[in-house]
Every structure is written in structure tokens, then in C-alpha cells.
Amino acid sequence: MKSRNLVLIIAIIFLQTGGLTAQTGGELTVSKSVAAGGGGMLRGGELLAVTTIGQTAAGTVAGGRFDLAAGFHAPAQTRSKTPFDFDGDGRTDISIFRPSNGSWWYSRSSDNQFRVYNFGTAADSLAPGDWTGDGKTDIAVWRPATGTWFVQRSEDNSFFSFPFGAPGDTPAPADYDGDGKTDAAVFRPAAGTWYVLNSGGAGTAITSFGAAGDKPVPADYDGDGKADLAIFRPSDGSWWYLRSSDGAFRVYRFGVGTDKPVAGDWTGDGKTDIAVFRPSTGTWFVQRSEDGSFFSFPFGQNGDIPAPGDYDGDGRTDAAVFRSGVWFVSRSTAGTLITDFGAAGDRPVPNAFVP
Ligand SMILES: [Ca+2]
Ligand SMILES: [Ca+2]
Ligand SMILES: [Ca+2]
Ligand SMILES: [Ca+2]
């Protein structure tokens, strides 16, 4: 893009701020690069700018002589927030961790090519997430013996590590501050205390929530873009979460102690729905965030390992199970997928946060 055209665009943004309407031609002077208000439209012979200033998601710029692909006007960046999405195409990738040699295997949903990396050991807890914020899931583990996190950057496969937590803690990484990067976090069962290391710079948050025996199930239940502290209490099948939006907590009875918590956005409204997989019958139960009603359906059988994710990328969680190297995925838009990937003894990566 030629700089003069950039000047022209910025000038038009400025002119909108002043409440002016269409402006074409001539040399324009830039004295302000960020406008407030927005929502207007300017049209000229060589450009069209339809703007909602300050909201990157709504702005569009088009024209014959320029192409503004990044900057204040750019459409919302399409970084994937899909879990277990190693290639960043918005779809969960079929993937396994092989404890016997600490290898990660995933099949890229974008081209069905697979990748293999050695990272971690059988004693580590899986902690995949978008630690670097590029929209691609990074391979990561938490080492219980030392409370150390190891993250392999998706960008260049280099890795970094840092201590956070202690032996006996339960790792509970998620994006608590909503900056698009996974935050290290642990739940300390003995004291019912959470330690969250916010990547956005807010430091470490220490919060009492839950008790010994509870299982952490952090997710964004209130839909504000930040993970909420949450626990599943097997003793009475109750779910407790602390809404990040207003600090209020919610409690629901849903499931029984032997169920596997599989919270996810099953309905696609942007809020995590409480859900469980019942191994004894292979039944999934989902409580809709919209109205608290629930639905259930059979998928899988006793002995299957639940591996929910958004495999078709429609924004709704899909039921999936891993059975000795065979995957069964109930895609919300694309029907059932049955495919071989991995072997008996492997752990499906999308099971990483199913306590
Ligand atoms: Ca993918
Ligand atoms: Ca974060
Ligand atoms: Ca939240
Ligand atoms: Ca889906």
C-alpha cells in the first residue's frame, strides 16, 4: 500500500470524527489517527470506508487502490479459540499423547497431515493451550514432581519453562484474563485454593474456591471471554463456578460422582455449558446455558475415553470418544467420523482437561 493512500484513509477517519460527511480528492492532512464514534461511511472515487471506529470487528475498508489488511480498521483477527487446534484452522485436531515415550501426535484438520513431537514424560500432566496467543494450540505439560510448566511454542517449536505450583496441586490452565493466551494455574485441593498466573500482566491471583476432593473445571461459563474458576464436586454431583464478569458464584447439581465432567460450549452461544459423560452407559448429558434445561444422547460405550472438542469448527462442542486407537466423533454439522489414530494406551489430547 502506498503511504499516500494510507494518509488518505487516516485522514478520512479523522474527518469522520469531526462529523463531516463525504470527502474526496485533494491533499488531506492527518492530525489524528484514532477516531471516536464511528459508524459512518465515506465514499470516493478510489476508496470506500465503512467504519465503526474502535471496534475492529465491525470495520471494513475496501477500494481499488488500497488494501488495508491490518490496523485499526481491520476485521477482527481470526485467531482460533478452538481447543486442541494445533494448526489454528478453528477445528479441533485429532491428537494423542503416548505416555510410553512422551510423544505427541496430531492430525492437522487443515490438511490431514500428522505431526509428532517428543515433549514431556508419562508422569507429566497434559497442559495444551494457546500459551503464545497465535491462535494455535501449543504442546505443553505440567510436571507434578517439581511444579514446572513446559511449553513448546507453535511458532518455532522452541520451548520455555517456568515454575508455578507445587507437588499435590492439580493443574488448571485456561485463559483467565481473556487476553487470548493460556494462563498457568493450579488448584490446591487441601486448601481449596486457586493460583492463577495471569499472562496479561495482572500478576498472580490467589482465590479460595472449592475444597479437597473437588475437581477443577475452569471454563467461560458466563461468556465474557475469561475463564471462570470452577469445580465439580463428585460427592454430590454439584458444579460451582465463580463468574468472572461479576464475581458471583453459581451452583448446579448435574451428574453423579462417577461421571466425567465435559463442560464445553455445546449449544454455541459463547457460554460454556455444564456437561458430563457417563461411562457406564456411554451417555452424554448437557445443561444448556441458555435456560438451564438439559438434553442427553448416547455416544460411545463403557471403557471409552471422552475427548470432546469442536472438530467441525462450528463453535459447538462435539462429543467424541477414543477407543484403543479408534476415534468416534459426533460432529455437530458433519455427521459421525470414525478414524484410526493412535493405539491402545495412548491418551487422546482432547481428554487433557477431563478430570
Ligand atoms: Ca485444527
Ligand atoms: Ca491469559
Ligand atoms: Ca467468564
Ligand atoms: Ca462442532
- Mark the residues whose beta carbon lies below 5 A from ion ligand 1: 85, 87, 89, 91, 93, 109
- Determine the distance separating the centroid of ligand 3 and the alpha carbon of 273, expressed in angstroms: 12
- Determine the distance separating the centroid of ligand 2 and the alpha carbon of 330, expressed in angstroms: 30
Chain centre to alpha carbon of residue 82: 5
Cell 458433519 sits at which residue? 334
Q: Which ligand is nearest to the CA of 333?
A: 4
- Determine the distance separating the centroid of ligand 3 and the alpha carbon of 226, expressed in angstroms: 4
- Determine the distance separating the centroid of ligand 2 and the alpha carbon of 193, expressed in angstroms: 19
- Determine the distance separating the centroid of ligand 2 and the alpha carbon of 181, expressed in angstroms: 4
- Taking the model in full, what pTM does it have? 0.79
In the chain, alpha helices (H): 3-17
- Determine the distance separating the centroid of ligand 1 and the alpha carbon of 250, expressed in angstroms: 32
Which is nearest to 275 in space by CA: 254, 249, 298?
254
- Determine the distance separating the centroid of ligand 4 and the alpha carbon of 335, expressed in angstroms: 10
Which is nearest to 312 in space by CA: 334, 340, 328, 292?
334
Please tell me the distance from the alpha carbon of residue 224 to that of residue 207, in angstroms, as a whole number.
19
Q: Which ligand is nearest to the CA of 350?
A: 1
What is the per-residue pLDDT for 73? 44
Please tell me the distance from the alpha carbon of residue 104 to that of residue 98, in angstroms, as a whole number.
6
- Determine the distance separating the centroid of ligand 3 and the alpha carbon of 212, expressed in angstroms: 23
Number of H helices, E strands in the chain: 1, 27
Proportion of the chain in helix, strand, coil states, percent, rounded to 5: 5, 35, 60
Q: What is the pLDDT along the chain (355 residues), one digit of tens a residue?
A: 444 444 444 444 444 444 444 444 444 333 333 434 444 444 444 444 454 444 443 444 443 333 343 344 444 445 778 999 999 999 999 999 999 999 999 999 999 999 999 999 999 999 999 999 999 999 999 999 999 999 999 999 999 999 999 999 999 999 999 999 999 999 999 999 999 999 999 899 999 999 999 999 999 999 999 999 999 999 999 999 999 999 999 999 999 999 999 999 999 999 999 999 999 999 999 999 999 999 999 999 999 999 999 999 999 999 999 999 999 999 999 899 999 999 999 999 999 999 9
Q: Please compute, for residue 78, the number of CA atoms within 13 A of its CA located in the half-sphere on the CB side.
A: 8
Q: Which ligand is nearest to the CA of 82?
A: 1
What is the per-residue pLDDT for 80? 76
Q: Which ligand is nearest to the CA of 88?
A: 1
Q: Which ligand is nearest to the CA of 330?
A: 4
Q: Which residues contact 19 (CB under 8 A, 6 or more apart)?
A: none
Question: Cα angle at 73 between 265 and 48, to 5 degrees?
Answer: 120
DSSP letter at 79?
-
